[in-house]
Amino acid sequence: MSKQEACKEPQGILVRVGADFSYGGTHSPGNAENRRFVYVPIPEKESRVREGYGRLYSEATNPVRRFLGETGFERYRMPSGKFMHLDPDFEHLTYGDNGSARGSGVARLKAGDFIAFYSAIRPFDKPDLGLVYGLIGLLFVDHVVKACEVPHGRWHENAHTRRAEISPNDVVVFGMRESSGLLQQYISIGSYRNGAYRVLPELLDAWGGLSVRDGFIQRSARPPRFLDPKRFLTWFSSQENSLIAANWPR
């Protein structure tokens, strides 16, 4: 990182990831009492996977089974796809997106900027709660490159370079290892109000706002920006949570 990049004001984006009923037919399982969870990615079409590079849902099966126990696992529906679109990949600290469409804001990120990831999580210990929208990870940008420019030796590090055909519009974000990773516990940030899932009003105030109306995070064409990224980072640092470079910590 250059001196100029280190001194600039950071920019931040809030990105939704993980399986849901539209993509995978389920949600990441969680525990409302201790806020532990298991990251379950969306499916990947088999026809899009480069031979020898696919990531299988079997990798997530044992972590989910350990988390839920045999009885809970029998009630849980793992996504039906054989391959998963493991993105972000917290082991390699990467995130890929279409830089000319939904991910245009991602493509403009520079070193020192960040992406905060959130998922819809279903607490199995308190099913009456319904879905919980929670932060699950943070990626501080080291550099952003076009996916087609990632060297062959690093294709295995992101879902967008594990594909048989790498889109010329896709970009891959590589994160800073010392400050990025999967959260050990999710941080609840949203609830259902005013007809949609939205960031809690008190958090919108603490963060300094988002670039979407009334904190809407149910689904968006473009991920919202933090209006005051430094305030969000100050809030985040007060949460006393740990980041780990792994998709399924043991």
Q: Please report the pLDDT score of residue 79 as a whole number.
A: 85
Residue 135 lies in a domain: yes
Range of the domain at 31: 3-188
Span 126-141, average pLDDT: 94
Span 69-84, average pLDDT: 90
pLDDT in tens, 225-242: 999 999 999 999 999 899
CA-to-CA distance for 140 and 116, rounded, in angstroms?
9
Backbone angles phi, psi at 127, to 5 degrees: -60, -25
* Amino acid identity, position 218: Q
- Say how many domains are in the chain: 1
Residue 17 lies in a domain: yes
Residue 248 lies in a domain: no
Check whether 152 has a pLDDT greater than 60: yes
Two structure tokens written together for 50: 């480069």
Check whether 45 has a pLDDT greater than 70: yes
CA-to-CA distance for 15 and 3, rounded, in angstroms?
28
pLDDT in tens, 205-218: 999 999 999 999 98
Residue 224 lies in a domain: no
Check whether 1 has a pLDDT greater than 70: no
Q: Please report the pLDDT score of residue 3 as a whole number.
A: 42
Mean pLDDT of the chain: 93
pLDDT in tens, 169-197: 999 999 999 999 999 999 999 989 999 99
User: What b/e readout covers 56-82, taking b as 16+ CB neighbours within 10 angstroms?
Assistant: ebeebeebbbebbeeeebeebebbebe
Q: What is the DSSP string of 130-159?
A: --EEEEEEEEEEEEEEEGGGS-GGGGGGST
**Residues in CB range of 127: below 8 A, 6 or more apart:** none
Residue 223 lies in a domain: no
